[in-house]
Amino acid sequence: MTTGNIPARTVPLSAGATWNALHQAATVAGNAPSIHNTQPWRWHVSTGVLDLWADRDRQLTVADPAGRMLTISCGAALHHALVALAVQGLGTIVVPVPDPRRPDLLARLTVTGNVPITMASIALLDAVSLRRTDRRPVTGEPMDETTMLAIANAAEPQGAFLRFLGPERVPALATLAASASAAQPADPAWRAELDRWIDSGASDTGVPVVNIPGQPVRTPVPERDFGRPGTLPMRGSAAGAAVYAVLYGEEDDPAAWLSAGRALSAVWLMANELDVSVVPISAITEVPGTRRGLRELLARIGWPYLVLRMGLTDPRSRGPRVTPRLPAEETVR
Ligand SMILES: Cc1cc2nc3c(=O)[nH]c(=O)nc-3n(C[C@H](O)[C@H](O)[C@H](O)COP(=O)(O)O)c2cc1C
């Protein structure tokens, strides 16, 4: 982690330069994680304002009918855009779901002026291009408390919380994951939808087979079964010292899901800086019954949004990101 500030610009940016900065931020946001790499966002740039829209054409209508995972994904993209603007020295205000008559307008971001550029935001922007979903097992080395605290603390300024579960709660979490993973494939429409988002290499969206484990990872909590083996080598599939955390918050509505996505991005970028891998396990919060079960597991302290598997990785084995992205011309106007 890095600290320190670079002073704010004293000359305000022109309208044209601000437009360029917003366009650039929306382009950077395309790196964000999304459910099945659906990239369900659209951006509209105007003078000093960046609007984030949900793209319902890329919603998982069977697995995610309410748009929870879609909105969390868009929230992650919003946080990526904010990181890019912070590095350009631009302060912003964000209004979530600003117009109740247009619920697909998820957020309006307005530039407020120049702010100091921090070394911390520069480090986060570096992490944007390095972050990836690494479904391989983590190392056997446990994460220390300082690392866990730094990751958990990244969530709160974005409007959600991250709670690491103690080992005594992991068996109950595993039972919920097993139940969700058994329920979903029983529906042929769910299986067909998942299959449409597995990418054999010809598309700009979807999870590529090269990023799907070639054999199941023996983790304490079952992870997404993509319905077919991929080609990601598993180097032996022992679980390593994986730990589990839950992103949660005070409400269960689109504005809260957007905050959850912002927090997911902040947590993941911080984890990346600390050589910690993150794998979301969203089946538990996609299925209503197991989502309720997880709320009970959290002793009803909040509404659960997403379970994350985390653990230390060897940075030398990280490798480049392999998931494709849509060209900016398709998502930014
Ligand atoms: C809301 C959300 C839910 C996700 N759920 C899962 C999941 O259940 N299992 C999994 O392996 N990956 C999951 N992912 C990771 C995505 O598949 C991944 O972000 C996407 O394929 C893009 O790849 P990248 O993260 O390497 O850029 C999820 C991501 C998000 C944002």
Q: Say yes or no: CB of residue 205 within 6 Å of ligand 1.
A: no
What's residue 87's pLDDT? 96
In whole angstroms, give the CA distance from residue 232 to residue 75.
Answer: 28
pTM value? Answer: 0.96
Strand 90-96's sheet: what is its strand order? 41-46, 49-54, 105-114, 90-96
Task: Quickly list H helices, the chain.
Answer: 15-29, 68-87, 119-130, 145-153, 170-183, 188-196, 254-273, 283-286, 288-297, 328-331
In whole angstroms, give the CA distance from residue 107 to residue 258.
Answer: 9
Q: Say yes or no: CB of residue 325 within 6 Å of ligand 1.
A: no
pLDDT digits (tens, 9 = 90+) for 141-150: 999 999 999 9
- Residue 14 Cα to ligand 1 midpoint, Å, equals 38
User: Where does residue 151 fall: left (phi above 0), alpha (psi -120 to 50 degrees), or beta otherwise?
Assistant: alpha
Reported confidence tier of residue 6, pLDDT bands at 50, 70, 90:
confident
> In Å, how far are 9, 44, 237, 270 from 274, measured between CA atoms?
30, 33, 23, 7
Q: What's the length of the chain?
A: 333
pLDDT digits (tens, 9 = 90+) for 219-232: 899 999 999 889 99
**Mutate which of 28, 31, 35 for ligand 1 pocket (most atoms within 8 A of beta carbon):** 35
- Write down all domains in the chain, each with its CATH number in brackets: 5-131 (3.40.109.10), 145-317 (3.40.109.10)
- Residue 224 Cα to ligand 1 midpoint, Å, equals 10
In whole angstroms, give the CA distance from residue 237 to residue 215.
Answer: 8
Report the DSSP beta bridge partners of residue 276.
312
Greatest pairwise CA separation for the chain in angstroms = 60
Reported confidence tier of residue 236, pLDDT bands at 50, 70, 90:
low
In whole angstroms, give the CA distance from residue 265 to residue 154.
Answer: 9
Strand 303-312's sheet: what is its strand order? 161-164, 243-249, 303-312, 276-281
